[in-house]
Chains A and B, each alone.
Chain A
Amino acid sequence: MQVDPSVVTAIAELAQLQLEEEDLQENIDSMSNILALVDQMQSVDTSAIEPMANPLDAVQTLRPDEVTEPDRREAFQSIAPATEAGFYLVPKVIE
Chain B
Amino acid sequence: MHTKSITELLAALQGGEFSAHELTSHFLDRIRSLDPHYNSFITLLEEDALQAAFRSDQRRAKGEAPLLSGIPIVHKDIFCTQGIRTTCGSRMLHDFIAPYDATVVEKLNQAGVIVLGKSNMDEFAMGSSNETSHYGNVHNPWDLERVPGGSSGGSAVAVAARLCAAATGTDTGGSIRQPASLCGITGLKPTYGRISRWGMVAYASSLDQAGSLTRSAEDAALMLSVMAGHDPRDSTSIAAHVPHYTAELDSEVKGLRIGLCREYFEDGLDASVAACVQEGIAELEKLGATISEVSLANIKHAIPAYYVIAPAECSANLSRFDGVRYGYRCDDPDSLEDLYKRSRSEGFGREVKRRIMVGTFALSAGYYDAYYRKAQQIRRLIKNDFSSAFDSVDILVGPTAPAPAFKIGEKSEDQIAMYLQDIFTIACNLAGLPAASIPVGFVDGLPVGMQLIGNYLDEATILRVAHQFQLQTDWHGRVPATAA
B335 touches A91 (CB 8 A): yes
Contact of A61 among B235, B303, B373, B379 (CB under 8 A): B235
**A42-B374, A82-B329 given as contacts; is B360 within 8 A of A15 (CB)?**
yes
> B378 contacts which of A41, A56, A90 (Cβ < 8 Å)?
A41
B74 CB to nearest A CB, Å: 23
Would you call A18 and B341 a contact (CB within 8 A)? yes
- Judged by DSSP, the binding face of A is loop
Q: Is the CB of A16 within 8 A of B344?
A: yes
A91–B354 touching, CB < 8 Å: no
User: When the two chains form their complex, are residues B416 and A33 in contact, meaning their CB atoms are under 8 A apart?
Assistant: yes
Could you tell me if A53 and B301 are in contact, using CB atoms closer than 8 angstroms? no
How many A-B pairs have beta carbons closer than 8 Å: the answer is: 161
Query: How far is the CB of A15 from the nearest CB of chain B, in Å?
Result: 4
Taken together as a complex, chains A and B put the C-alpha atoms of A37 and B304 apart, in Å, by: 6
Q: Which residues of B contact A55 (CB under 8 A)?
A: 191-193, 206, 383, 430-433, 456
Nearest CB of B to A51, in Å: 3
- List chain B residues, Cβ under 8 A from A88: 324-325
Number of interface residues of B (CB under 8 A): 70
* Binary contact readout A33-75 vs B (1 if CB under 8 angstroms, 0 otherwise): 1110111111010100111111110101101000000001001
A46 touches B232 (CB 8 A): no
Contact with A along B210-252 (1 / 0, CB 8 A): 0000000000000000000000100110100000000000000
Contact in complex: A44, B364 (CB < 8 Å) = no
Q: How many chain-A residues does the 8 Å CB contact rule pick out?
A: 47
Task: Give Cα A78–Cα B97 distance, bound, in whole angstroms.
Answer: 10
> Of A16, A54, A79, A82, which contacts B96 at CB under 8 A?
A79
Cα separation A67 to B336 with both chains bound (whole Å)? 33
- Contacts A30-B415, A50-B380, A79-B99; A14 near B360 (Cβ below 8 A): yes
Cβ contacts A to B, 28 pairs, < 8 Å: A12-B357, A14-B364, A15-B357, A15-B360, A16-B341, A17-B356, A31-B358, A34-B307, A35-B358, A35-B361, A37-B304, A37-B307, A37-B416, A38-B371, A44-B377, A50-B377, A51-B373, A54-B236, A55-B191, A56-B192, A56-B432, A60-B235, A72-B99, A80-B324, A82-B329, A90-B324, A91-B335, A91-B339
Residues of B within 8 A of A (CB): 96-97, 99, 191-193, 206, 232, 235-236, 238, 298, 301, 303-305, 307-308, 311, 315, 319, 322-327, 329, 333-342, 344-345, 348, 353-354, 356-358, 360-362, 364, 370-371, 373-381, 383, 415-416, 419, 430-433, 456
